[in-house]
């Protein structure tokens, strides 16, 4: 658990597993998340001998928050510079939501540096419903109350099955969000503006040359399955998987199923 200055910004990262392994997984976070959001996923990859690298994008919880908005190209170039600084020249990218969008930009810009790409509940374009959700999150940020923020945005990201079964977990998450510092919300608004201004990249998807796995929760009302189908149709070498009884946060709602699908895909294409 360390920080490196990349393009003048402190990026928090974790470098786990076998440091000498040539098989590297880079996990890219969702917009509201931090590296710990992958704790239900990455241990399996470490057990299989992979080196695992996680980091917070600028604007996220543990990294610097320079004035935004940013661009997805900036995030991708900073991620690439971080990996290169750690001696990594090629990696499997696994990104969820905002992280999947950064991963797509990364694969377009640095095709020689990507072995495979796995995209979870991501989009390559916007519609009015998605824009409205993001605008609502900005309003919640202005409360500067983490518990209010979490309870307000949770129905837009968690599936109904998960929300019904995991009420205690969600209440704990709401209380944990109540402890975040005010600069968290500053960074969030920069990231939301980045997303709204810059996520349009459908026309670039045919440039992604590595094998791609596109996954989406069947009950995702935020980044609905139609967006994942667009991505899968545009990336030349892609597979599409719809996850039943799952909302937007597949990495928390269906970690075992997700891990199994992605691990199998990576091993098949290694």
**Cα–Cα distance for residue pair 206/238, rounded to 1 Å:** 11
Structural domains of the chain, count = 1
State pTM to two decimals: 0.97
Does residue 98 sit within a domain? yes
Tens digits of residue pLDDT in 136-161: 999 999 999 999 999 999 999 999 99
Q: Which residues contact 110 (CB under 8 A, 6 or more apart)?
A: 76, 80
Nearest to 72 by CA among 57, 61, 62: 57
Per-chain mean pLDDT for the chain: 97
Tens digits of residue pLDDT in 48-76: 999 999 999 999 999 999 999 999 999 99
How high is the pLDDT of residue 123?
A: 98
Tens digits of residue pLDDT in 171-215: 999 999 999 999 999 999 999 999 999 999 999 999 999 999 999
Does residue 262 sit within a domain? yes
Q: Domain of 77: which CATH number?
A: 3.40.50.1820
Angle at 12 between CA 207 and CA 27, to 5 degrees: 40
Confidence of residue 165 (pLDDT cuts 50, 70, 90): very high
How high is the pLDDT of residue 1?
A: 66
How high is the pLDDT of residue 270?
A: 87
Does residue 140 sit within a domain? no
Does residue 118 sit within a domain? yes
Are 124 and 227 in contact, with CB atoms under 8 Å apart?
yes
Domain holding 258, by residue range, is 2-125+199-268
Does residue 6 sit within a domain? yes
Does residue 58 sit within a domain? yes
Are 198 and 171 in contact, with CB atoms under 8 Å apart?
no
Does residue 235 sit within a domain? yes
* Dihedral angle over CA of 32, 195, 93, 186, nearest 10: -40
Does residue 151 sit within a domain? no
Q: Is the dihedral of CA 79, 66, 205, 224 positive or negative?
A: positive
């Amino acid at each position: 658990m360390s920080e490196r200055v990349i393009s003048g910004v402190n990026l928090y990262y974790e470098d786990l597993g076998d440091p000498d392994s040539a098989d590297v997984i880079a996990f890219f976070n969702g917009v509201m998340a931090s590296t710990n959001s992958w704790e239900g996923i990455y241990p399996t990859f470490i057990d299989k001998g992979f080196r695992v690298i996680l980091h917070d994008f600028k604007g996220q919880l543990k990294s610097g928050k320079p004035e935004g908005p940013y661009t997805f190209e900036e995030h991708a170039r900073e991620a690439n510079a971080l990996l290169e600084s750690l001696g990594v020249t090629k990696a499997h990218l696994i990104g969820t939501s905002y992280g999947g969008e950064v991963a797509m930009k990364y694969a377009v810009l640095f095709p020689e540096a990507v072995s495979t790409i796995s995209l979870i509940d991501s989009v390559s374009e916007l519609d009015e419903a998605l824009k409205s959700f993001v605008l609502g999150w900005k309003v919640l940020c202005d409360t500067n109350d983490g518990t209010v923020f979490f309870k307000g945005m949770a129905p837009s990201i968690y599936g109904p099955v998960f929300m019904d079964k995991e009420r205690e977990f969600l209440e704990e998450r709401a209380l944990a969000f109540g402890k975040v510092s005010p600069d968290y919300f500053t960074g969030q608004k920069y990231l939301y503006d980045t997303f709204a201004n810059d996520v349009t990249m459908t026309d670039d998807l045919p440039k992604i040359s590595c094998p791609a796995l596109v996954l989406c929760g069947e009950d995702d009302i935020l980044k609905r399955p139609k967006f994942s189908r667009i991505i899968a149709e545009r990336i030349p070498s892609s597979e599409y998987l719809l996850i039943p009884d799952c909302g937007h946060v597949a990495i928390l709602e269906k970690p075992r199923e997700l891990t199994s699908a992605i691990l199998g895909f990576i091993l098949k294409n290694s």
